[in-house]
Structure 1
Amino acid sequence: MKRSIKILVSIIIPFYNAENFLERAIISAINQSYTSIEVILINDGSNDGSEIIAKKYSDQHHNIRLFTTQNLGPGNARNIGIENSLGEFIIFLDSDDALGSESVKILADAICENESDIVVCKFTLYDKQQIGFKDAGWKLDSYKTTGKEAVKAMYSGRIASVVWAKIYRTEIINKILFPVGLWFEDRPYLMECFLNTDKISLVNDSLLKIYSQEDSITRRVVTKKRIEDLHLIYVIEMEMLGKYNNVHELSAYIINHHIDVLLDTFFLIIIDEKRMKHPEDQKKLYVDYIKKFMDHYPKYPYQISIKRKIILLILNGLRVFPWSWVVFFGCILLKKKYNGVKLLKKS
Structure 2
Amino acid sequence: MIHSQVPLVSVIIPVYNADKYLDRCLSSIITQTYTSIEIILIDDGSKDNSASICDSYAAKDNRITVIHKENEGQSVARNIGTDTSTGEYILYVDADDEIPQNAISLFIEKLNEHPQAEMVVGEIKSIPNDPTRYSANYYKRFDYIDNNLWVREHFYRFKNRLATNPVNKLIKRSFITQNQLNFKPGIIHEDELWMFHISQRLSRLAFVHEATYLRYINPNSIMTGSSDLKKSKAWGIILKEIFNHFSEPAWKEQYFAYTKQWMNFYNPHNKFAEYEDVWEKIVEMAIKKRLFFFIVLMICYKKSYPILQGHGIGFIIWATSKIVYKQAV
> 1:75, 1:178 within 8 Å by CA — same for their partners in 2?
yes
Look up the match of 1:209. Answer: 214
Structure 2 CA distance for aligned equivalents of residues 116 and 90 of structure 1: 13
What's the counterpart of residue 176 of structure 1? Answer: 181
State how far apart, in whole Å, the 2-side matches of 1:191 and 1:122 are.
Answer: 20
Seen in structure 2, the aligned counterparts of structure 1 residues 279 and 221 have a Cα distance that, compared at 3 Å, is farther
Q: Distance in 2 between matches of 1:42 and 1:82?
A: 10
1:143 aligns to what? 143
Q: Is the 8 A contact 1:31 1:101 kept in 2?
A: yes
Partner of 2:255: 251
Structure 2's unaligned 5+ residue stretches are 269-297
5 Å-filtered alignment, 1:62-141, equals 62-114=62-114, 115-127=116-128, 132-134=129-131, 136-138=134-136, 139-140=138-139, 141=141
Change in 2 beyond 3 A, CA 1:162/1:289: farther
CA contact under 8 A between 2:156 and 2:254: conserved in structure 1? Answer: no
Deviation at 1:288, TM superposition (A): 6.8
Classify the secondary structure of the residue corresponding to 1:181: coil
CA contact (8 A) 1:178 1:189 kept: yes
Match in the other structure for 1:10 = 10
Kept in 2, the 8 Å contact 1:222–1:272? The answer is no
Instruction: Report the TM-score when normalising by structure 2.
Output: 0.77
Is the 8 Å Cα contact of residues 100 and 213 (structure 2) preserved in structure 1? yes
Identity of matched residues, %:
22
Asked whether the 8 Å contact 1:118–1:200 carries over to 2, the reply is yes
SS of structure 1 residue aligned to 2:90: strand
Counterpart residue identity of residue 13, structure 1: I
- Segments of structure 1 that go 5 or more residues without pairing to the other structure are 300-347
Cα offset, 1:287, TM superposition: 4.9
2:38 paired with 1:38: yes
d(CA) in 2 for partners of 1:228, 1:37: 37
60-69 or 104-113: which moved more?
A: 104-113
Question: Match for residue 188 of structure 1?
Answer: 193
Q: Secondary structure at the match of 2:227?
A: coil
- Cα shift readout 1:85-119 (whole Å, capped 9, x = no counterpart): 10000011011111111111111222342120011
The 3 A distance-change label for structure 1 pair 250 and 98 is same
Cα RMSD between the aligned structures? 3.2
Structure 2 Cα separation of the partners of residues 284 and 87 of structure 1: 49
The amino acid that maps onto 1:136 is: Y
Task: Using structure 1 for the length normalisation, give the TM-score.
Answer: 0.73
Instruction: Go from structure 1 to structure 2 and tell me whether the alpha carbon gap of 1:90 and 1:286 turns closer, same or farther (over 3 Å shift).
Output: farther
| Paired residue secondary structure (2:192) | helix
State the Cα distance separating 1:148 from its structure 2 match: 3.0
Contact 2:126 2:214 in 1 (8 A): yes
Aligned-pair CA distance for 1:38? 0.5
Shift of 1:21: 0.3
SS of the residue corresponding to residue 202 of structure 1 reads strand
Q: State the 1:245 CA deviation.
A: 9.7
Give 1:143's aligned amino acid.
D
CA contact (8 A) 2:148 2:199 kept: yes
